[in-house]
Amino acid sequence: MIVDIHTHIFKAGEDFGPALQADLKRCRVDPASWGDVEERHLETTKAADVAVVFGLQASATGWNIPNERVAAHVARAPERLLFFASIDPLQGNYMEELEKCHQDLGATGVKLAPLYQNAHPLGPRYYDIYRYCEKHGLPILFHAGTSFVSGTRLDYSRPAHFDAVAVDFPGLKMVLAHLGHPWEGETIAVIRRHENVYADLSALYYRPWQFYNSMRLLVEYNASEKVLFGSDFPFTTTGDSLNGVRRINDVLASSGLPGIPSGVTEGIINRDALQLLGLPHPAKRRV
């Protein structure tokens, strides 16, 4: 079973504030290139059996995708989509929003992004969220590593900070997105130490040399079993990500460097993230 653990939806014209629009322009990213994100999401995620989908609430950097809209989107394909709520700790009603998303809107997990939300992951408001998620069995997918957004501290995304979270909340299931690039080694050190901490490899394949070296580290540390498949739609698609992961050794050409065993890549692609994270299969939730 293929689970795409990392997909976004949004309407850029409505959901992106001035700061975010400026960051995209600075990085020469045109949101129009993504087309109708919601319709493309429904079509392209069919390359996986199940996809986790979320928006992003991050007032500090101009993201405001309503959780209600994500829940409504999931309801269009409830047999294969799972809703993760995004909670912004800078908002006064952050715990009320979490409870509403979980109890009323059917969220099965949470997406947090300290770098985007301009809050340290060891801060007291995040700890409120961690306590709730651990109590109710909600896994958290964290943005980890760098980003194009400006005006916040990159340090908030360092994978090492999540080591302390795992020590304080050993029952909390966590996923560190993007292998925490460019701190992939740090991410590997964290996921090896904690039973309930994983990483995903979303948005890595299109930097082939960096991706290859990251996967070699996983092989050498014997830690690939702690890594899940994800795409980062709409910045790429599920199908393109599957193809990119499977072609990881193309970058080697005739260099003689050791390749990534196919058993490692196929193991990541076919890993049962639902079982590992305690998530329900969406089709079975409807029975």
Give the pair of three-digit tokens for residue 226: 């702690």
Binned at pLDDT 50, 70 and 90, residue 248 comes out as: very high
What are the DSSP E strand ranges found in 23-156?
50-54, 57-58, 63-64, 81-86, 109-112, 140-142
What is the arithmetic mean of pLDDT over 149-157?
A: 97
pLDDT at 286: 57
What secondary structure does DSSP assign to 177-228, as a single string? GGGGTT-HHHHHHHHHH-TTEEEE-TT-TTSHHHHHHHHHHHHHHT-GGGEE
Q: How many helices (H) and strands (E) does the chain have?
A: 14, 10
* Spatial separation of the C-alpha atoms in residues 203 and 185, rounded to whole Å: 17
Q: How many other CB atoms are found less than 10 A from the CB of residue 22?
A: 14
pLDDT for residue 285 is more than 90 = no
Which of the following CATH numbers is that of domain 3-285: 3.40.1710.10, 3.20.20.140, 3.40.50.2000, 3.60.15.10?
3.20.20.140
Average pLDDT over residues 197-205: 98
pLDDT in tens, 202-215: 999 999 999 999 99
| Vertex 100: Cα angle to 97 and 101 (nearest 5) | 85
Q: Give per-residue pLDDT as tens, 12-62.
A: 999 999 999 999 999 999 999 999 999 999 999 999 999 999 999 999 999
Break the chain into its structural domains and give their ranges: 3-285
Q: What is the pLDDT of residue 148?
A: 94
- Model-wide pTM > 0.85: yes
What sign does the CA torsion over 98, 96, 72, 147 have? Answer: negative
For the chain, the C-alpha Rg in angstroms (whole number) is 18
